[in-house]
């Protein structure tokens, strides 16, 4: 019997990359999945693929910056599948990489609203549903190695990802005694559309040189590898883990 049979997982940013791989991984373990993102076409395709493999899935178009959308997303999960056991807050954007003196205020707001405020709103309504049900649960937020490391022209993105460390730590302390675990996954260089866009900005030569010099495993990771880390943190195997950060980065943050 699949180990997550009859459980329900909600994944934001589920239309591509890490979010999509995570939704597929939960479904493979027997969980019923709810997909949330702004691009409903990709989600409809993924729902059909999961159902064709015998899984159960639903999707809800969601802008995580809007409280009403986030509340509707959680309500949809409960109305569709009757419960919420696992929540993965993966929705995020990179924004524009420009010098701080040239960064427009509205661009700063756009990145922080999506990456940090969006995660706050998701945890607000997800925790309400979990506490009301009284069955505990697990929440995994998705940060980045840039939750610890800065880089030139990345001020908005880096600030938003740093903020997730404190947000995750604080909320985990609030919810631990109610049986809800909250953790943070901070991936390194992963083969996703976001990193493909970054590669297009810096060029193949610099990108490949970075992998060679900074990543111990000398390769980019795959979304499925990050999905595995997320499923571990949601599983019973991680029952004594909360408020921590798991960094699947191929050794990048260990390089000196």
SS3 88: strand
Element housing 76 (H / E): helix 67-81
Which candidate in 86, 157, 207, 240 is catalytic? 157
Cα–chain center distance at 47: 18
Confirm whether 207 is a catalytic residue: no
Sheet holding 32-37, edge to edge: 57-61, 32-37, 8-12, 86-89, 137-142, 180-185, 245-246
SS3 228: helix
Q: Answer for the pair 169, 243: CB distance below 8 angstroms, yes or no.
A: yes
DSSP 191: S
Residue of 152, 160, 80 lying closest to 119 (CA atoms): 160
Residue 140 has φ and ψ, to the nearest 5°, of: -125, 120
Which residues carry out catalysis? Answer: 157
């Amino acid at each position: 019997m699949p180990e997550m049979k009859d459980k329900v997982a909600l994944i934001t940013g589920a239309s591509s990359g890490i979010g999509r791989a995570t939704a597929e991984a939960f479904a493979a373990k027997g969980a019923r999945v709810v997909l949330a993102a702004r691009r409903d076409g990709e989600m409809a395709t993924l729902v059909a693929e999961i159902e064709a493999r015998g899984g159960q899935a639903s999707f809800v178009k969601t802008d995580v910056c809007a409280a009403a959308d986030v509340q509707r997303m959680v309500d949809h999960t409960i109305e569709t599948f009757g419960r919420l056991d696992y929540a993965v807050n993966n929705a995020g954007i990179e924004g524009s990489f420009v010098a701080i003196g040239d960064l427009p205020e509205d661009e700063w707001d756009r990145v922080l609203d999506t990456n940090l405020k969006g995660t706050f709103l998701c945890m607000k309504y997800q925790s309400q549903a979990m506490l009301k049900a009284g069955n505990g649960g697990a929440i995994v937020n998705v940060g980045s190695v840039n939750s610890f490391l800065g880089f030139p022209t990345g001020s908005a993105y880096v600030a938003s990802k740093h903020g997730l460390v404190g947000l995750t730590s604080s909320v985990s302390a609030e919810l631990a005694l109610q049986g809800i675990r909250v953790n943070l996954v901070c991936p390194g260089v992963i083969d996703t559309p976001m990193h493909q866009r970054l590669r297009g900005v810096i060029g193949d030569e610099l990108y490949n040189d970075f992998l060679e010099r900074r990543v111990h495993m000398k390769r980019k990771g795959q979304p499925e590898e990050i999905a595995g880390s997320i499923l571990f943190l949601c599983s019973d195997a991680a029952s004594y883990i909360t408020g921590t950060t798991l960094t699947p980065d191929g050794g990048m943050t260990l390089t000196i």
